[in-house]
Structure 1
Amino acid sequence: PMGRGNPSIDPGILVASKLAGAFRIYRIGGAHAAAALAYGTNTVEKTDKIVGPGGIWWSAGKYVVSKDVCIDMIAGPSEIMILAETPSDPEIIAYDMVAQSEHGDASISILVTNSKSLAEEVLASIEDIIRDSPSKARNFIIKNLLEYGAIMVVDNLDYAVEAVNLFAPEHLEILINKEKIPQILSKIRNAGSIYIGEYAPTALGDYCLGTNHVLPTNGLARGRGGLSVLDYVKFIDIHFITLEGFLEVVKDALILADYEKFLFHKRSLEVRINKTSRR
């Protein structure tokens, strides 16, 4: 894999890039990569828009240059929130929470449930997973879950939904009785991507469900969804107005210009009206 002291590029990245139609690859990373893309160098061409997630230094650099170049969003650290009730499988929930820790430091794993017994079973399953993990992974999981993990027990699913909408998670797994799914879904307003049922784990979405997996984090799901083709499309409004159309809509424009007390906006419109009347 690409890293410090390793001049090669991971072959998986090369194959994926070729399949996606990429025709140029720069082997760079970190804050200096964002700067190079934003302003250009002797070897890196200046770009019009920067998209995609990365580590903390990449994200910091991307944030700094966002005043000078368009970006999609600041993505990361990764998040998962699981909304569950009995009789959900506690081992499945535990593995999904632990798996989130593999994304790196500060990855957030939260379970919100209306069942105290399920919460206790999930906690016990997490302890079993940690105990059976290799020592290196064990230490990392413990650190991440202690600092950025949580199990919340609420009185009912409505409170659970409220917690979801307040947190606006990047990934939301819903593990509830099937007949309740439509009602709960209709109340979810803020989430980057939603996975329903025990056979739709976030890990599957990470790799091969087909939807884009560059998703809003840090509450940004309140205002936008994941990266999509729209992030690569620029819309330009084009206006052509006939004389008849101008005379129809200018009446409202004059009212607004008066309201805002924009004298020369108003005169810009009136001069056209006057010239039209003299023709």
Structure 2
Amino acid sequence: MELWAYEEHNNTRLEFKVKQTLFVGRSKYQRIAVLDTVSCGKLLLLDGMIMLTEKFEFVYHDMLVHPPLFVHPSPKRVLIIGGGDGGAIREVVKHEEVEQVELVEIDPMVIDVCKKYIPTTACQFDHPKLKIHIKDGFEFIKHTPEGTYDVILIDSTDPIPGGPAVGLYSSEFYTDLFNALKEDGIVTAQIASPYFDEIVLRDYYLMVSEIFPIAEIYLAFTPDYPTGMWAFSFASKRYHPIDEYDPDRYLNSGIETGYYNEEIHRAAFALPTFARKILGKEG
């Protein structure tokens, strides 16, 4: 009997053939599962939503982390909200100029499970620059002193009703993010599929645009998520992701990436016509 794991999104399924179930459990906050798939290695699901596969997680983590860290001229202090799988940490600590990275994860079971079953991403939890806070990201940022961080990365689950990430998509939260950033700070976040989540993407972009003077949407393409196209946001107090981007910083960095490069950086912000229309930028 064949076993398939799937995520259903707007009446469309993304499925992976499963070799073995490695872990299934429930924390205080969510259902957690790790499956070994035939084609993509380990698969992490939270509340039935696909978070990553071993084979393709590099796309998401490259594009969440490297665009802001190669735009900001001196990203010394970085905060990750969510990201208990460890992939964002792995990419952040590749940047030598980062002096401290902090992770705020509400669910310690996610960290523990990923350390045991997905060491591909959970490989830098013992890094000397890392400090971990087991707290609610919404509450953590509300009590963060103004001007603390250079870059903040929102690596959360989707805002399903009753889930742990609902508050991380609100104007109150983004106002607190704005205040927690230094005067030239940047925040990036994963959002949704432009194909299926037009209203979510539009409302999110309008909300962020009212808070930050620079707000842009960019794209990456990964088989891990429904429709294969995924939108991220880049919100900045000072630096534009294209106008202030110096490709030589990446080319001279020596940092190894699987998806990100200087040409992908520029291309990611070039949106197709239908996406521009969703954001009210055309037509």
TM-score range, shorter chain: 0.3 to 0.5
More strand, by proportion: 2
- Give the TM-score normalised by the residue count of structure 1: 0.34
Asked which structure has the greater CA Rg, the reply is: 1
